[in-house]
Amino acid sequence: MTGSAHRSAEATAPRGRGLKFRTLADRLRREIDEGLWPPGSRLPTEQELARAHGASVSTVRRAVADLVAEDLVVRRQGSGTYVLAPAAAGGRSALIGVIVPDTAFYYPRVLQGIEEELTAAGARCVIASSSYDQARELRAIADMLDAGAEGLLLAPTLAGPETPEAYLDRLAGLPVPVVLVERRGTSLGDATESVCTHHEAGGYDAVRHLARLGHRTTGLVLRLHSPTTEPVRRGFHQAVRELGLAGSEFRAALEEWSPAAADRCLTGLRRAGATAAVCFGDRQAALLEAAARRAGLRVPDDLALIAYDDEIADIAEVPLTAVSPPKHLLGRTAAGLLLNRLDHPEDSRRQVLLRPAITVRESCGAARPRLALTPG
């Protein structure tokens, strides 16, 4: 009896207590075969499946366990259960190494996108965090290569003993394909494939958004020693020049940021006559918002704010308008680029920039715009 005939026979079997999970498993198989749950998609939670099919959670768990055993789906801890591509069953499954600086902040959505894309292709991944430590990162790379990783997705640490240029050269010389994630080469001579947020465009669009609300003098508030700082700065100043605005800057290293630093920043902004500020990142914007409150200023009436990152911007006292990098799409795009490189090593190399969006909340006063500039 063929597998499909066997499943069909099971579907018509009496639905006794011991067969309920098998009947449910067969139904989920048919839905996967028919494309209701395409490769890479996430199944509903066990509780949702239990409600939808009038079954207990334990029945659902046993049914899904059958599908896992058959390589039809895979469980990702903390993420859910995903449908595997048909090629994954019984076939060769590529192992991909993934290294990011932090798995708790900024990168969870990136990792989710990576896992979804790899799962849809039947690939496996091993994930490590470098904690912004080059030595630890290199050890993780070595371990992944020893384990048989056929390609690497890396968000490399560019602040360390080696200069960014030297470190990127080292990564380019690895014996497997590498795609940089949320990083890119510092020279046009660097041909390493990459997928990165277009941070220059993010800084530019933040200024343009504020200009359309009527702000003529805007401050830039920076957290130093991040690879993102300089691209955001370039985009900010290009927008200021092109729109004929006035701009000012306040800089402090990450470890220096505190309420006192925010007070100094606010003093500088007021001295420059700024009515708005673009803040890299969310924490700096929230600290500046609190400094404005201590000074008796209202956000957004006296000072409009745009944060950069959109990780915790929505939980500020006045929810922060934020530049939002396309983190999930970034992960999917990077994984797809690496899989394409493995399948088509002769293809031209690609370096992809994804433009971020602006999520409008209360801190910029967009709901009550000032006199807007004539669109340019």
CA distance 124 to 126: 7
CB 81 within 8 A of CB 38: no
Secondary structure of 297-309 as H, E, C letters: CCCCCCCEEEEEC
b/e per residue, 109-133, with b = 16+ CB within 10 A?
bbbbbbbbbbbbbbbebebbbbebe
Question: Which residue spans within 225-344 are E strands per DSSP?
Answer: 246-253, 276-280, 304-308, 321-324
The pLDDT tens digits of the residues spanning 190-229 come to 889 999 999 999 999 999 999 999 999 999 999 998 989 9
Q: In this structure, which topology does domain 3-88 adopt according to CATH?
A: Arc Repressor Mutant, subunit A (1.10.10)
Q: In this structure, which topology does domain 95-198+327-355 adopt according to CATH?
A: Rossmann fold (3.40.50)
Cis previous bond, 281, omega within 30: yes
Indicate if 200-325+358-364 has the same CATH topology as 95-198+327-355: yes
Query: What superfamily does domain 200-325+358-364 belong to in CATH?
Result: Response regulator (3.40.50.2300)
Q: Ramachandran region of residue 366, left (φ > 0), alpha (ψ -120 to 50) or beta? A: alpha
State the number of CA atoms in the 13 A half-sphere of 265 facing the CB.
33
CB 183 within 8 A of CB 196: yes
Per-residue pLDDT at 13:
41
Low-confidence ranges of the chain (pLDDT < 50): 1-17, 88-91, 368-376
Per-residue pLDDT at 78:
65
Per-residue pLDDT at 160:
84
The DSSP line for 178-228 is: EEEES---SSTT---EEEEE-HHHHHHHHHHHHHHTT-SEEEEEEEES-TT
Per-residue pLDDT at 369:
40
CA distance 273 to 67: 63
CA distance 314 to 155: 26
Q: What residue has token string 């749950």?
A: 37
The angle, 0 to 180 degrees and rounded to 10, between the axes of the packed helices 3-11 and 20-33 is 130
40, amino acid identity? G
Per-residue pLDDT at 240:
98
Per-residue pLDDT at 18:
56
Per-residue pLDDT at 86:
66
CA distance 233 to 202: 10
Per-residue pLDDT at 120:
85
Domain parsing of the chain, residue ranges: 3-88, 95-198+327-355, 200-325+358-364
pTM of the full structure: 0.76
**Residue 42 per-residue DSSP state:** B
Terminal Cα distance for the chain, rounded: 70
Structure tokens at 266: 């606010």
